[in-house]
C-alpha cells in the first residue's frame, strides 16, 4: 500500500541462521529457546537494513525495538541517518488468540512466505503457492517456546510500549479478527493521523 520496505529483524535473523553466518550461529540458540537475541547482534543487522537507500522514503519496522535499550539505540541510528519514527502500532490480541494463531502458522522453508492453516491456507497442503517449497511449523511456534516468548514479551518488550507512550507515538489497534479487518483498522488510524496533521 505505502510501497515502503518491511524490515523484520526476525526474518533477517532467520536468514543469517539458514546461511550459517557467524551472527546466525550466535543468534540461533536464543531463537530456538524463544529468548531475545543479544542487543548488539540485532542492532548491527538493523543498522545495515535501515542504511539502505530505499528506506529514505519510509519503512516499517517489525519486531524491533524489543527492549528499551534497543529503542534508545534506534534513536541514535535514526538521527545518524536523518530518519525518524512517525507511529508505533500496538496490536492488541489476547494470549489465547496468539497461541492459536502461532500454532496454525506455517512458513515456507524456501521463500519465507507465511500461511495460516485456518485463515490463509495454501492451495495444496504443505506446499508453498508461490515457489512450491515445503511449509513448516517454525521451531519457536511450538507451544512450549511460544509460552517462553510471551513471558519474554512481558518482561523485556512491554516496557518499550511505555517508552513510546511517553512520546505520544502509540496507536492502539484492536488486533482481533481476520487480516483484512485488522489491516483496515491500521490504515484508518494512520489516515486519521495524517488528516489531523494537515489541519
Ligand atoms: P519474530 O520473527 O519477530 O517473532 O522473531 C523471532 C525470534 O528472533 C525472537 O523470538 C527472538 O529470538 C529473535 N528476535 C527477533 N527480533 C529481535 C529483536 N529485536 N531483539 C532480540 N531478538 C529478536
60-62 and 105-108 beta bridge pairing: unpaired
Phi, psi (deg, nearest 5) at residue 36: -80, 140
Return the closest-CA partner of residue 40 out of 53, 26, 20.
26
Global pTM value: 0.91
Which pLDDT score is estimated for 2? Answer: 84
Cα(11) to ligand 1 centroid in Å equals: 8
**pLDDT (0 to 100) of residue 170:** 97
Cβ proximity of 17 and 71 under 8 Å: no
For 142, the grid coordinates are: 511450538
Q: What is the pLDDT of residue 196?
A: 72
Q: Which atom of ligand 1 is nearest to the CA of 8?
A: 3
Over residues 41-93, the pLDDT tens digits come to: 999 999 999 999 999 999 999 999 999 999 999 999 999 999 999 999 999 99
| Cα separation, 41 vs 53, whole angstroms | 22
Contact 112 CB / ligand 1 (< 6 Å): no
Farthest CA pair distance, the chain: 51
Mutate to test the pocket of ligand 1, among 66, 91, 102 (most ligand atoms within 8 A of CB): 66
Q: How far apart are CA 165 and CA 153, in angstroms?
A: 17
pLDDT above 90: percentage of residues in the chain:
90
Stretches in the chain below the pLDDT threshold 70: 199
Give the separation between CA 144 and CA 166, rounded to whole angstroms: 33
Q: Which long-range contacts (CB under 8 A, 24 or more apart) does 28-31 make?
A: 31/139, 31/140
Closest approach atom of ligand 1 to CA 140: 10
Amino acid at each position: 500500500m505505502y510501497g515502503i520496505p518491511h524490515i523484520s529483524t526476525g526474518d533477517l535473523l532467520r536468514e543469517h541462521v539458514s546461511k550459517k553466518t557467524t551472527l546466525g550461529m550466535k543468534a540461533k540458540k536464543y531463537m530456538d529457546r524463544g529468548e531475545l537475541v543479544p542487543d548488539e547482534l540485532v542492532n548491527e543487522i538493523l543498522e545495515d537494513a535501515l542504511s539502505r537507500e530505499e528506506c529514505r522514503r519510509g519503512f516499517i519496522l517489525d519486531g524491533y525495538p524489543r527492549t528499551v535499550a534497543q529503542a534508545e539505540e534506534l534513536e541514535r541510528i535514526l538521527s545518524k541517518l536523518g530518519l525518524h519514527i512517525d507511529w508505533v502500532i500496538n496490536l492488541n490480541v489476547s494470549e489465547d488468540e496468539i497461541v492459536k494463531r502461532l500454532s496454525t502458522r506455517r512458513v515456507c522453508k524456501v521463500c519465507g512466505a507465511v500461511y495460516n492453516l485456518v485463515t490463509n491456507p495454501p492451495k495444496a497442503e504443505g506446499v508453498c503457492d508461490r515457489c512450491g517449497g515445503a511449509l513448516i511449523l517454525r521451531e519457536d511456534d511450538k507451544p512450549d517456546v511460544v509460552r517462553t516468548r510471551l513471558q519474554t514479551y512481558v518482561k523485556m518488550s512491554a516496557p518499550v510500549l511505555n517508552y513510546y507512550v511517553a512520546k505520544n507515538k502509540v496507536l492502539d489497534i484492536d488486533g482481533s479478527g481476520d487480516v483484512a479487518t485488522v489491516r483496515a483498522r491500521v490504515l484508518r488510524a494512520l489516515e486519521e493521523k495524517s488528516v489531523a496533521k494537515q489541519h
